[in-house]
């Protein structure tokens, strides 16, 4: 690309110093026309300084973005592209790029160096994968932009390894504009689904897969992966598709946890009614949406905070969400609007997902719920084919010395080693947030309910109890917790609090089989950029199967446990506990405990608990003995 003839740049939203690319093109054309000398005449005036400055800015942006571009080489298995998204070496790419490569691969950067990289996590349905480059802790990287702000006509560029040409590790750059947003590309003879993706006219060729699509300021708005080609000779026809950066952000936590992640299904299908409404055409009675009240022929108005006006819009929203998330669903019945929270189920069974990853699952059939999917459109093809089909299963080669100790095989995981890394990171944050003397004895929590009635909770190593106006409930904290979902109507509040105390005191390892699940949108308000664009905030989730129950702990970045969901049986409604912390410290601040918490079970609010006093006793030979050691009350802090 010659700088003077292909300059197209959109003005950085945060700066007015550079001209937009279309305006720059007009200026360049006008300047070139005005300054073109006539035959025998001297050369005209130089381009305006504003044009030259904008051109230098565009070149600098592309150079900076290209430093984060990764050329992936997998030997005989082929290769593709990727992009570094953190300074410690994590890089996003496509599932179909890394699947044939296996656990280890080589990655080249524009600094001319070849790095070893190890597989971290896989998203086979959404065609995403995460790898980690090793050898340094200051890799150049690119931030993920908010892809919901991308509009048709925005300038963009791709940096990658088309046709594996980057043998010198210098990425190829192709520029263009965004030519479509919210495109749905259903499975076309593959297991891959591109939902809510970005369509571009920048050249996307075989080998570009997995590389970044950048905006005008060099932030990642998508991961390139699929293109439409002229059938004869696979000639690029100017229609490429990128997985949105927001979809990648939704799954990034689970990918960093070494998981084989799955996408979500509502357990229901939708269709267009004769009057244009989007209505439920079929629904599984076992789905959470059905339990929350959704029925056949209800009009779907919004899902996960986005309006649903077409079937395509519904598929686009659902296809970008991980399984297990709880999202708001708005529907209308008989002219009356209803809003519910639904927990999204997984598209695949775990064994089915593993078979797909290993190449034994065959083409995926979409959605477990009844219904049809969009047939492939003319010209659509699977992702560009830079990597051949996975070879027959054989003993994997030994890892390079640089990757030793960075991979652990375990069913259900792409790389269990990184799950332990993330679990221990969260454990360290929890321990730092709660400066409680360990070992600890009984915790006594005293406060008021919403109606001002008093409550009292005692959590000891061997037992737990709660005094409510309706009566007293006690459970054996050392036995199977599923046998006693007390207090009645809560779904297991005492069991949840027992595990909460154990997690804070002794970490996730004390709970038994505990893994890092990924991230969920945080309940806390998001910060805002100067331009007003919300910065997504995510909380970590730990999943524990212990003492006959399953519990999921939601943990904020500062180590505060913000929520617990506990199931006493796989088909039971969970007990949902949500904690709130005082902004100014308040009750329990000295030991990191919350100011209040709410409890829900099924569709019923069990209670809101405001804490007035927390007493943490030291451990004694008699675990249930008294003798306060730490007290916090009425915002006065606590002593230890």
User: Which residues are identified as catalytic?
Assistant: 96, 127, 209
Which residues contact residue 52 at a Cβ distance below 8 angstroms, ignoring those fewer than 6 apart? 46
242-245 contacts at long range (C-beta below 8 A, 24 or more positions apart): 242/197, 242/198, 242/200, 242/204, 242/213, 243/126, 243/127, 243/128, 243/194, 243/197, 244/147, 244/148, 244/150, 244/196, 244/197, 244/198, 244/320, 245/144, 245/145, 245/146, 245/147, 245/220, 245/221
Cα separation, 548 vs 479, whole angstroms:
9
3-state helix, strand, coil in the chain (%, to 5): 20, 35, 45
* Residue whose C-alpha is closest to residue 98's, from 132, 138, 63: 132
Place of tokens 């075989």: 206
Task: Give the CA diameter of the chain.
Answer: 104
Q: Count of residues for the chain?
A: 640
Give Cβ neighbours of residue 235 (< 8 Å, ≥ 6 apart). 229
Strands (E), 171-325: 172-185, 194-200, 212-214, 220-230, 235-244, 264-265, 268-272, 278-283, 299-303, 306-307
- The answer to whether residues 172 and 192 touch, using CB atoms and an 8 Å cutoff, is no
- Angular region, 487: left φ>0, alpha ψ -120 to 50, beta rest: beta
The structure tokens 């030793």 sit at: 404
- Coil, helix or strand for 638? strand
Contacts of 11 (CB under 8 A, 6+ apart): 18, 19, 20, 216
CB-count burial class (<10 Å; 0-12, 13-18, 19+) for 359? middle
Contact indicator for 268, 318 with CB cutoff of 8 Å: no
In the Cβ-directed half-sphere of 372, how many Cα atoms lie within 13 Å? 5
Which among 200, 253, 134, 161 is positioned nearest to 541, based on CA atoms? 253
DSSP 73-85: E-GGG-EEEEEE-
3-state secondary structure of 378: coil
């Amino acid at each position: 690309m010659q700088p003077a003839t292909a300059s197209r740049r959109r003005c950085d939203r945060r700066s007015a110093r550079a001209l937009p690319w279309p305006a720059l093109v007009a200026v360049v054309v006008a300047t070139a026309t005005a300054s073109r000398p006539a035959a025998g005449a001297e050369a005209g005036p130089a381009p305006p300084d504003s044009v030259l400055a904008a051109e230098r800015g565009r070149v600098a942006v592309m150079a900076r973005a290209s430093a984060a571009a990764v050329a992936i080489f997998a030997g005989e298995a082929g290769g593709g592209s990727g992009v570094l998204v953190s300074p410690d070496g994590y890089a996003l790419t496509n599932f179909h790029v890394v699947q044939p490569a296996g656990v280890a691969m080589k990655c080249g950067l524009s600094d001319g160096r070849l790095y070893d990289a190890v597989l971290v996590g896989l998203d086979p349905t959404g065609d995403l994968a995460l790898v980690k480059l090793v050898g340094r802790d200051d890799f150049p990287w690119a931030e993920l932009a908010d892809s919901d702000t991308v509009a048709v006509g925005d300038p963009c560029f791709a940096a990658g390894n088309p046709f594996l040409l980057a043998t010198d590790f210098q990425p190829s750059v192709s520029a263009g504009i965004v030519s479509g947003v919210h495109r749905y590309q259903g499975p076309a003879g593959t297991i891959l689904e591109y939902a809510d993706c970005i369509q571009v006219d920048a050249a996307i060729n075989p080998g570009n897969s997995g590389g970044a699509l950048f905006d005008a300021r060099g932030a990642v708005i998508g991961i390139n992966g699929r293109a439409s080609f002229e059938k004869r000779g696979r000639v690029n026809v100017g229609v490429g598709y990128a997985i949105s950066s927001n979809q990648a952000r939704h799954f990034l936590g689970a990918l960093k946890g070494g998981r084989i992640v799955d996408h979500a299904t509502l357990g229901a299908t939708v269709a267009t009614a004769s009057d244009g409404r989007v209505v439920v055409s079929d629904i599984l009675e076992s789905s959470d949406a059905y339990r929350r009240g959704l029925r056949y022929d209800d009009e779907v108005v919004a899902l996960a905070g986005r309006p649903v006006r077409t079937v395509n819009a519904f598929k686009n929203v659902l296809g970008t969400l991980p399984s297990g998330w709880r999202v708001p669903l708005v529907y209308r019945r008989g002219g009356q609007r209803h809003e519910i929270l639904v927990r999204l189920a997984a598209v695949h069974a775990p064994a089915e997902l593993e078979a797909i990853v290993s190449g034994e699952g065959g083409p995926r059939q979409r959605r477990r719920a009844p219904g049809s999917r969009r047939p492939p459109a003319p010209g659509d093809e699977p992702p560009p084919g830079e990597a051949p089909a996975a070879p027959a299963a054989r003993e994997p080669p030994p890892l390079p010395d640089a990757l030793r100790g960075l991979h652990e095989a375990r069913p259900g995981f792409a790389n269990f080693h990184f799950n332990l890394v993330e679990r221990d990171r969260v454990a360290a944050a929890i321990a730092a947030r709660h400066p409680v003397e360990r070992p600890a004895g009984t915790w006594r929590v005293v406060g008021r309910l919403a109606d001002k009635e008093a409550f009292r909770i005692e959590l000891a190593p061997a037992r737990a109890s709660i005094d409510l106006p309706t009566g007293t409930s006690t459970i054996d904290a050392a036995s199977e917790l599923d046998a006693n979902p007390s207090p009645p109507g809560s779904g297991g509040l005492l069991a949840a609090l027992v595990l909460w105390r154990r997690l804070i005191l002794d970490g996730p390892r004390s709970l038994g089989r505990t893994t890092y699940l990924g991230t969920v949108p945080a309940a806390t308000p998001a910060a805002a950029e100067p331009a007003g664009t919300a910065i997504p905030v995510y909380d970590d989730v730990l999943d524990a199967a212990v003492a006959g129950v399953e519990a999921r702990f939601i943990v904020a970045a500062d180590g505060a446990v913000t929520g617990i969901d506990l199931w006493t049986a796989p088909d039971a409604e969970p007990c949902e506990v949500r904690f709130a912390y005082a902004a100014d410290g308040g009750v329990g601040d000295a030991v990191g405990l919350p100011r209040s918490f709410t409890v829900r079970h099924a569709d019923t609010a069990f209670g809101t608990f405001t804490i007035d006093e927390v007493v943490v006793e030291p451990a004694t030979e008699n675990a249930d003995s008294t003798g306060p050691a730490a007290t916090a009350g009425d915002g006065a802090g606590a002593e230890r």
